[in-house]
């Protein structure tokens, strides 16, 4: 058997099994070949090619400007790097909200042009038609409720969502609607841990939390944030596993010093 045949790909069914057996699901974002390869080889269950690429890769203030073509570029790079995990790609703002036909066309482009395995989109009942059309074409959909960054101008802030009863009740209802429509998983972003726990208990499909407490079936973080590349972003939910900003700064400073002093390259680094 070839080495590649021995690698067993994680699927949406694997995530369902993990929920059933009470094992937690790990998910991280990635946007390029090199990091996707490292993260995949480290054993992650799911890579999300998030529209947070708009922030961390392109430097935009919000996720709204990133285009479908740009998401396809990032996703196809990730697919070339990750051989084992499930790869989910965000449908960007404007690619699915207007109607089911447009949503399906966007999702088909992602699947055909990137080789990824599923799409994610934000919202509840408002996007039900789009969700149903995409799933009816055989494309797995991950839903996303709570703080949905594509609606930042409606919310006005990045504060915790669904603290009030009305919004919490709508979130519970939307979660059931998304499950009923056939979504294979649900991201819960920045909502009270108690609400996330209730939703997780009520749903058969796995929940993946970000700022939603420890009772979700899995967790997701933006890779740049957990590796400490972005020193200005310090929300309470973020755990930094590395201070890459500091380490890169130190390494680059040393390189500059070595070039300027003539210490690099030395004889053994020359032909
Ligand atoms: O775009 C993204 O990175 C996301 C995660 C924060 C869930 O949607």
The tens-digit pLDDT sequence of the chain (271 residues) is 455 545 799 999 999 999 999 999 999 999 999 999 999 999 999 999 999 999 999 999 999 999 999 999 999 999 999 999 999 999 999 999 999 999 999 999 999 999 999 999 999 999 999 999 999 999 999 999 999 999 999 999 999 999 999 999 999 999 999 999 999 999 999 999 999 999 999 999 999 999 999 999 999 999 999 999 998 999 999 999 999 999 999 999 999 999 999 999 999 999 9
Q: Known catalytic residue: 189?
A: yes
Per-residue confidence (pLDDT) for residue 6, from 0 to 100: 57
Element (H, E) at 119: strand 118-120
Helix (H, G, I), strand (E, B) or coil at 210: strand
- Tell me the CA–centroid distance for residue 51 and ligand 1, in Å: 6
Tokens of 68: 């479908």
Q: For residue 122, give the ligand 1 atom closest to its CA.
A: 8
- Tell me the CA–centroid distance for residue 186 and ligand 1, in Å: 12
Cα–Cα distance measured from residue 86 to residue 107, given in angstroms and rounded to the nearest whole number: 16
Per-residue confidence (pLDDT) for residue 71, from 0 to 100: 99
State pLDDT tens for residues 38-97: 999 999 999 999 999 999 999 999 999 999 999 999 999 999 999 999 999 999 999 999
Between strands 218-221 and 25-29, the pairing is parallel
Q: Which of 74, 150, 152, 210 to mutate to test the pocket of ligand 1 (most atoms within 8 A of CB)?
A: 210
Per-residue confidence (pLDDT) for residue 1, from 0 to 100: 45
Domains and CATH numbers, the chain: 4-240 (3.20.20.60), 243-271 (no CATH)
Cα–Cα distance measured from residue 182 to residue 90, given in angstroms and rounded to the nearest whole number: 17
Q: For residue 208, give the ligand 1 atom closest to its CA.
A: 7
- Tell me the CA–centroid distance for residue 196 and ligand 1, in Å: 17
- Tell me the CA–centroid distance for residue 89 and ligand 1, in Å: 10
Q: Whose CA is nearest to atom 8 of ligand 1?
A: 50
Q: Whose CA is nearest to atom 2 of ligand 1?
A: 50
CA 212 centroid distance within chain: 15
Long-range CB pairs of 126-130 (<8 Å, 24+ gap) are 126/97, 127/96, 127/97, 127/103, 128/177, 128/181, 129/99, 129/100, 129/103, 130/96, 130/97, 130/99, 130/100, 130/102, 130/103, 130/104
Per-residue confidence (pLDDT) for residue 2, from 0 to 100: 52
Q: Is any ligand 1 atom within 6 A of the Cβ of residue 220? A: yes
Q: Is any ligand 1 atom within 6 A of the Cβ of residue 222? A: yes
Q: How far is CA 144 from CA 1, 36, 151, 171, 187, in A?
A: 39, 22, 12, 10, 4
Per-residue confidence (pLDDT) for residue 86, from 0 to 100: 98
Q: Is any ligand 1 atom within 6 A of the Cβ of residue 29? A: yes
- Tell me the CA–centroid distance for residue 137 and ligand 1, in Å: 24
Q: Is any ligand 1 atom within 6 A of the Cβ of residue 185? A: no
Tell me which of 41, 189, 198, 257 is the catalytic residue. Answer: 189
For CA atoms 230, 59, 78, 250, the dihedral sign is: negative
State pLDDT tens for residues 199-214: 999 999 999 999 999 9
Quick check: pTM over 0.75?
yes
């Amino acid at each position: 058997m070839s080495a590649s045949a021995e690698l067993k790909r994680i699927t949406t069914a694997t995530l369902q099994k993990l929920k059933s057996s009470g094992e937690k699901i790990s998910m991280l974002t990635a946007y390029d070949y090199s990091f996707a390869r490292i993260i995949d080889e480290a054993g992650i269950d799911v890579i999300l090619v998030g529209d947070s690429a708009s922030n961390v890769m392109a430097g935009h203030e919000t996720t709204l400007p990133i285009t479908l073509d740009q998401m396809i570029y990032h996703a196809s790079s990730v697919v070339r790097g990750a051989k084992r995990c499930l790869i989910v790609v965000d449908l960007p703002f404007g690619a699915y909200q207007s109607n089911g036909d447009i949503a399906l066309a966007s999702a088909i482009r992602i699947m055909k042009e990137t080789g990824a395995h599923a799409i994610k989109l934000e919202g509840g009942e408002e996007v039900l038609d789009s969700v149903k059309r995409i799933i009816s074409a055989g494309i797995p959909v991950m839903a996303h409720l709570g703080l949905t960054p594509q609606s930042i101008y409606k919310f006005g802030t990045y504060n915790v969502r669904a603290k009030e009863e009305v919004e919490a009740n709508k979130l519970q209802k939307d979660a059931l609607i998304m499950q009923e429509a056939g979504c294979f998983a649900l991201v819960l972003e920045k909502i009270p841990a108690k609400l996330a726990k209730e939703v997780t208990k009520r749903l058969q499909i796995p929940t993946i939390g970000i700022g939603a407490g420890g009772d979700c079936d899995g967790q997701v973080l933006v890779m740049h944030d957990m590796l400490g590349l972005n020193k200005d972003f310090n929300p309470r939910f973020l755990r930094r596993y590395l201070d890459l900003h500091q380490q890169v700064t130190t390494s680059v400073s040393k390189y500059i010093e070595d070039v300027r002093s003539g210490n690099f390259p030395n004889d053994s680094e020359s032909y």
